[in-house]
Amino acid sequence: MLADEEFWRLVDVLGGQPEVQDDRPYERLTLVLSEQSVERIIDFAEALAFKLHQLDRRVLAQAVFPGADRLSDDDFLYARCAVVVAGPAAMAAVLADAAAFERFTTVEAAHADSILDVPSNAYQKATGEKWDHVEEYDYETGSNEQWW
């Protein structure tokens, strides 16, 4: 897994704007990663999965709609992607205060799920082969048992 500093430096290529409906930042990050070793691409995927796993918490899913059960599984994943795209300060803020998560649950921020395709696209671009890596941390909604 990449060190935090390196992971966030790569994520910074996206510009910290999860609500932007533009694939170019994701294409840039894909290109940057594809020019690195396969090991680094996998390390990026692992770090991304770990960050999304850390954000997989019932309190975040429920914070947005008090009284409602939670966001849909997909919407919750996309909102967590938006937090990661926004950068380390956003992630720290959300982990410290669930109320900070609300701004990442907009329709505009849902485009941030494009970050999920970056490692596989970079791998395919670098190797010409199909991505078959399975990350150690599951980031699907409810997989972080400690926080559900």
Domain range for 117 is 4-125
Residue at 38: amino acid letter: V
Q: Which pTM was predicted?
A: 0.92
Please report whether residue 145 resides in a domain. no
Please report whether residue 29 resides in a domain. yes
Please report whether residue 70 resides in a domain. yes
For the chain, list residues with pLDDT below 70: 63-70
Please report whether residue 85 resides in a domain. yes
Please report whether residue 142 resides in a domain. no
Please report whether residue 100 resides in a domain. yes
- The pLDDT of residue 47: 98
Q: How far apart are CA 57 and CA 148, in angstroms?
A: 6
Counted domains in the chain: 1
Tens digits of residue pLDDT in 82-108:
999 999 999 999 999 999 998 898 877
Please report whether residue 144 resides in a domain. no
Q: DSSP assignment of 50-110, as one string?
A: HHHHHT--HHHHHHSSTTS----HHHHHHHHHHHHHH-HHHHHHHHH-GGGGGGG-STGGG
Q: How far apart are CA 126 and CA 111, in angstroms?
A: 24
Please report whether residue 134 resides in a domain. no
- The pLDDT of residue 19: 82
